[in-house]
Chain A
Amino acid sequence: DARVTQTPRHKVTEMGQEVTMRCQPILGHNTVFWYRQTMMQGLELLAYFRNRAPLDDSGMPKDRFSAEMPDATLATLKIQPSEPRDSAVYFCASGSLEIQETQYFGPGTRLLVL
């Protein structure tokens, strides 16, 4: 049963600390998305990778957020320095262009910045 995995599932940190979230997409998928979900804003797209290349990160605050795919099995989202307003659930999703346009979501990382 292939699924997207994310670590950590929960993270509590203090303002100013670095936070790194990891995602393992489904094997064979060639698109990866990072989303942030909050009550106020709903689901926001932060970054989009296709074949490991970043194609869209317009929704991501550039001064503190960065997203990378060092290889096909790992995507990372980093916040440095973190702020209380970054508290949210961060989802990774992967998909395959060859099958159909759809996304399979991971369970999310719940981040609380104090």
Chain B
Amino acid sequence: GEDVEQSLFLSVREGDSSVINCTYTDSSSTYLYWYKQEPGAGLQLLTYIFSNMDMKQDQRLTVLLNKKDKHLSLRIADTQTGDSAIYFCAEYPSGGSYIPTFGRGTSLIVHP
């Protein structure tokens, strides 16, 4: 079955770039998403990339997709303390089931 894996923790200094990585197994995935969950809140859609794209940039966020290696990354430039949260990677399979598979989430800790 599908599986999405992420490292559990990432610690960075304020102002540095953060790179959160994700690997997935379903090569037929259509969309790949990044969600952000702040403490006590639900998941908030951050950005997504369609499977025929290699890169997508959205202000401080850059998503890179390597389909050959089934690797997705989220880069946050100039990381701020407000970026501290859990980041979830999710893939949507093809075939019309529309049921996504989420990773376990990466806790990003930004320290001064």
Contact = CB atoms under 8 A, between A and B. Distances in A.
Contacts, number: 48
A107 interface: yes
B25 interface: no
A105 B43 contact: yes
Interface string A1-12: 000100000000
B92 interface: yes
Contacts of B98: 31, 48, 50, 95, 97, 101
Given A101-B92, A102-B33, A43 B44 contact: no
B3 to A, nearest CB: 12
Interface residues of A, number: 22
Nearest to A106: B42
B33 A42 contact: no
A108 interface: yes
Interface of A: 4, 31, 33, 42-43, 45, 48, 50, 56, 91, 93, 95, 97, 100-108
